[in-house]
Amino acid sequence: MTVRRIGNATIEKVEELCAAGFRPNRMFPRFDQQAFDAQKHWMVPVHVEPGSDRLVGSVHTWVVKTGRHTILIDTCLGNDKQRHNAAWNNLSLPFLDRLRACGCPPESVDFVMCTHLHVDHVGWNTRLENGRWVPTFPNARYLFAKREYAHWESERARQGEGKVNDGSFDDSVLPVVEAGKAVMIDSDHQPDPMLTIRDYPGHTPGSIAINLENGGKRACFSGDIMHHPIQVYHPDWSSQFCSDQEMSARSRRKLLEDCVESNVLLCPAHFPGENAGYIKPEGNSFRIEWDKQ
Ligand SMILES: [Zn+2]
């Protein structure tokens, strides 16, 4: 995988899996076929599966090395986790080997950051050891947005044990808290001089984006504020997984405007392959220019 530079820092994407998933009319309640077809020429085959039109998405971690710290942003699905989604159930993937191959053994990680606490962003927080879930990264502090954690904690109280986010809160978040490795943060928290956090609620109540800034360059790890590049062109298309459709659309537009204004390299959580890009204005909307490496 490609190593990108932001000043003196490096960023690298480590993929857990990549596959075609939902059809766009199922993914986006505001889907419009004509608007989708207008962008298909560049989306097929990398972002849209030929023939079926299913959206291609990857699940990956961003590895950030600032020189002072090694940071993982979002931790995918994890191994051995029991999930209702068959494609995500009981995985046994060499994700940690892939991390090691890019110079990131588990013990080297200083901070784990989750843009939000959905099942596909917390999985490698823990691994199974002698029947127990233990933190995968033994020397890391896990930074959870206070508002996000509080939301899912109260959902758990309401829905019951093992029910929240397909069980992931119980097997991938709570064991970290119980091991004393979690730090609940507000958006003014700065784990490293190069990192800042911004709130973009809507996909989930406490979704954050993480900015990396150095040497006059900035990258933004935006989690699921966008799932698919079609949302750059249609920022009002929130996904069916957004807890607040309107708020999510407002957050998405705000983030895209910020990317345009500051020439930010946008690094989302589910764009496949090597894809990250720069956002440009286009009419009342936006387009993406891929960062060629
Ligand atoms: Zn996700």
Total structural domains in the chain? 1
Instruction: Determine the pLDDT at residue 274.
Output: 76
Cα(197) to centroid(ligand 1), Å: 18
Cα(283) to centroid(ligand 1), Å: 29
Strand partners, 104: none
Instruction: Determine the pLDDT at residue 292.
Output: 84
Cβ neighbours, 10 Å, residue 220: 25
Cα(161) to centroid(ligand 1), Å: 22
pLDDT at 293 over 80: no
How far, rounded to the nearest angstrom, does the alpha carbon of residue 225 sit from its chain's CA centroid? 8
Cα(34) to centroid(ligand 1), Å: 26
Instruction: Name residues whose C-beta falls within 8 Å of residue 281's C-beta, 6 or more positions apart in sequence.
Output: 260
Cα(223) to centroid(ligand 1), Å: 7
**CA–CA gap between residue 258 and residue 278 (Å, rounded):** 11
Cα(291) to centroid(ligand 1), Å: 22
Domain containing 207 — which CATH number? Answer: 3.60.15.10
Range of the domain at 123: 3-290
pLDDT, tens digit (0-9, with 9 covering 90-100), for 129-143: 999 999 999 999 999
Cα(73) to centroid(ligand 1), Å: 12
pLDDT, tens digit (0-9, with 9 covering 90-100), for 109-123: 999 999 999 999 999
**CA–CA gap between residue 29 and residue 6 (Å, rounded):** 36
Cα(108) to centroid(ligand 1), Å: 25
Cα(104) to centroid(ligand 1), Å: 22
Cα(74) to centroid(ligand 1), Å: 9
Residue type, position 173, single letter: V
Cα(32) to centroid(ligand 1), Å: 22
**CA–CA gap between residue 55 and residue 24 (Å, rounded):** 6
Cα(269) to centroid(ligand 1), Å: 6
Cα(121) to centroid(ligand 1), Å: 6
Cα(237) to centroid(ligand 1), Å: 16
pLDDT at 1 over 80: no
Cα(224) to centroid(ligand 1), Å: 5
**CA–CA gap between residue 225 and residue 255 (Å, rounded):** 8
pLDDT, tens digit (0-9, with 9 covering 90-100), for 23-64: 999 999 999 999 999 999 999 999 999 999 999 999 999 999
Residue 213 has φ and ψ, to the nearest 5°, of: -135, 125
Provide the phi-psi class of 266: left if phi over 0, else alpha when psi is between -120 and 50, else beta: beta
pLDDT at 242 over 80: yes
